[in-house]
Amino acid sequence: MIEERVKSALEDVRPSLQADGGDVEFVSVSDSGEVSVKLTGACGSCPMATMTLKNGIENYLKKEVPEVTAVVGV
């Protein structure tokens, strides 16, 4: 199931975010492969959050779970 694979991949990126005082929470995945996540802690208010979301989390999830089409923050 795609949701479980996405959650597992997010666990791989969490330590990097936590090292900077932030975190990421899985919210949902749509039928089209769009993953919704919530950045929390320092990541929630960081001016670089969009870059982290797109260049870090999205790229990694697309590599690990090819069905992922996009990652959006909520």
Domains and CATH numbers, the chain: 2-73 (3.30.300.130)
Predicted local confidence at residue 23, as pLDDT: 93
> What are the DSSP E strand ranges found in 1-74?
22-29, 34-41, 70-73
Q: Is the pLDDT of residue 43 over 90?
A: no
Look over the chain and give the mean of its residue pLDDT values, rounded to a whole number.
92
Predicted local confidence at residue 72, as pLDDT: 94
Does 54 or 30 have the greater pLDDT score?
30
Does 61 or 51 have the greater pLDDT score?
61
pTM of the model: 0.90
Handedness of CA 51, 56, 59, 61 (dihedral sign): negative
Span 11-25, average pLDDT = 92
